[in-house]
Amino acid sequence: MSPAARDRHSQWRDQRPRLDDRGDTLVEVLLAIVVIALAATAILGAFTTAITASAVHRNGASLTTIMKSYVEDAIFEIQLQPSPLFSSCATSYTLSSAPTPPTGYTVSITSIQYWNGSDFGSTCTAGSLAPQLVTITGNGPNITSTLSFVVSSTSYSEVLASPTFTSASSASYTQGTAFSFTVTTTGSPPPALSATGLPTGVTFTDNGNGTGTLAGTTSVAAGQSTITFTANNSVPTTPPTQTFTLNIGSPVVFTNTSVATPLTYSIAHNGTMTSSNLPVTASGTTPITYSYTVSGKLTSGSTVTTLPGSVTFTKTTNGTGNYFSGAVGATTGTWTITVTGSNLMGSATGTYIIKVT
């Protein structure tokens, strides 16, 4: 570049406007405005949320204070004042001195339940002076709350009584089926119940009202279990207990005879019965115990209560291996035998007949 050209370039460079001297462009100004607007919106939203949350909290605190004041006045008027309002089986109370809630707030009694000796419920016995559970509902700006309290008559006195078991002391259930048994007691206050000696698969639940539930699944093994229930309401020094027998198994069923269709064996007089002539078979959880009674009518018209001749009953503790056998003798007639089989599930009967001709 010639000296003259360099001088002209240098003059132009010195005379052009610098970037810092030109100021911000329109695009840059608009972008800044958008950023500021977004930030302001976020701040305003957060501020609004904070104000709303603060208002809800403030309204809730105000409603709580109003309701507590209402409860204090209600307890005084219903129970404590010289002429209390307490009334048997009351469904509501009109309070004369309850403070009027501020504008926008309301408080009212919405339900009353009655003490039945073990819990509060909707049933009330006429003339009862038992405690009452009063529930009030309060409403305020965008908020609702409930509060419950107990009132009672100054004439009410709960009589303490030791627990007594009123349910059965045993129960039997078929193996492979689920079951449930309710333990019941009396006592005041209602006792807490517990159980020990539970077999595998069996549970016990205290229902909290003087009753309990014994429950078993389908997996409970066959057998007899001894369970001890305890009822404790702190009235007696030593809580009473009940020994409960739980039987799980299958009942006795005679499989080769029935009352409607007895198993009959006919034999000539002076004949001898063998073990296969009149067997006694049954199903059910073992051991099974057997017994029998005889009602015989002879051809002569006489009646007897013993087996014919020298016939005997051979028995086991199983469902098989039981039979009548022996010489029947010379006397003719019909002997009806009622066999009873018993196991832990109970008893059943089967009918067998020997005809001697």
Rounded to whole angstroms, how far apart are CA atoms 107 and 334?
88
- The answer to whether 346 touches 332, Cβ cutoff 8 Å, is no
pLDDT score, position 185: 96
Share the mean pLDDT of the chain: 88
Q: So what's the pLDDT on residue 19?
A: 46
Please give the span between the terminal C-alpha atoms of the chain, in angstroms, as a whole number: 157
- Is 50 exceeded by the pLDDT of residue 12? no
Looking at per-residue pLDDT, the higher value among 10 and 275 belongs to 275
DSSP 290-333: EEEEEEEEETTS-EESS-STT-EEE--SSSSSEEEEEE--S--E
- Distance from C-alpha of 86 to C-alpha of 80, rounded to nearest angstrom: 9
> Tell me: the pLDDT tens digits for 224-278?
999 999 999 989 999 999 999 999 999 999 999 877 889 999 999 999 999 999 9
The pLDDT value recorded for residue 125 is: 83
Render pLDDT for 185-202 as a digit per residue (tens, 0 to 9).
999 888 999 999 999 999
Predicted TM-score (pTM) of this structure: 0.56
Which ranges of the chain would DSSP assign to H, the alpha helix? Answer: 3-15, 19-22, 26-75
pLDDT of residue 312: 98
Segment 39-53 mean pLDDT: 55
Residues 6+ apart with CB under 8 A from 50: none
Instruction: Enter the tokens of residue 245.
Output: 């027998």
What does the pLDDT read at residue 44? 58
Cross-strand bridge partners of residue 340: 291, 349
Contact 197, 225 (CB under 8 A): yes
Of 125 and 19, which is predicted with more confidence?
A: 125
Domains of the chain: 58-151 (no CATH), 161-249 (2.60.40.10), 253-356 (2.60.40.10)
Residue 97 or 33, more confident: 97
- Mean predicted confidence (pLDDT) in 118-126: 86
Q: What is the DSSP letter of 79?
A: I
Name the pLDDT band for 294 (thresholds 50, 70, 90): very high
| Percent of the chain topping pLDDT 70 | 84
